[in-house]
Amino acid sequence: MSLSNPLNLILIPPILYLLYRRLVPSLPSTPSVLPNKYDENVYNWMPARHPDVLCHKSYTPVELAELDGRKNPNCGICLAIMRVGGDGKVSPELERTVFDVSAGASFYGPDGVYGNFAGRDASRGMAKQSFDDDMLTPIEQPLDALADLTPSEIDNMRGWHDHFSRKYIICGDLVNASSM
């Protein structure tokens, strides 16, 4: 092709444009409105609402008792177990972890075999491998000092605490009402 021919000069810009388009494909246009319903076929779907969030906080025995799965069925089921220190000894100041055991509702729910532990300090029952009601401290009283536990009972309690830590969500500490 000869550049002296005016027709060839006129054809150069469109040819350059076509070359450019070939090398740089246009981006797909993004939708201006994001879908707000779950639709996994749409790459940018958003959940309808934010998932529920648990806040780590301190519970008194009376507050924990609200989370027994009966009084507030929509608020989940929680129970507490003492965290044994590295020396394997129990002292009244040792903290108790509150676990959200809603995922184990068939055990800890209102109709579960261990349902009486829901909303309560389960430390003594876990230590003594007993699910009787007399393992529970009345919720108006100070926390169970657990001073009478034998080393093997303390070991049981530590085992349950470890197991619950792996299985359930930790959502706070159980504290004396007087310390709030």
Residues that bind ligand NAG (CB under 6 A): 92-93, 142-143, 145, 176, 178-179
- Pick between residue 29 and residue 178 the one whose CB is nearest to ligand NAG: 178
CB of 40 to ligand NAG, least distance (A): 48
Spell out the SS3 assignment of the chain.
CCCCCHHHHHHHHHHHHHHHHHHCCCCCCCCCCCCCCCCCCCCCCCCCCCCCCCCCEEECHHHHHCCECCCCHHHCEEEEEECCCCCCCCCCCCCEEEEECHHHHHHHCCCCCCHHHCCCECHHHHHCCCCCHHHCCCCCCCCCCCCCCCHHHHHHHHHHHHHHHHHCEEEEEECCHHHC
- Pick between residue 102 and residue 123 the one whose CB is nearest to ligand NAG: 123
CB of 168 to ligand NAG, least distance (A): 21
CB of 53 to ligand NAG, least distance (A): 27
- Pick between residue 30 and residue 178 the one whose CB is nearest to ligand NAG: 178
CB of 159 to ligand NAG, least distance (A): 21
- Pick between residue 92 and residue 110 the one whose CB is nearest to ligand NAG: 92
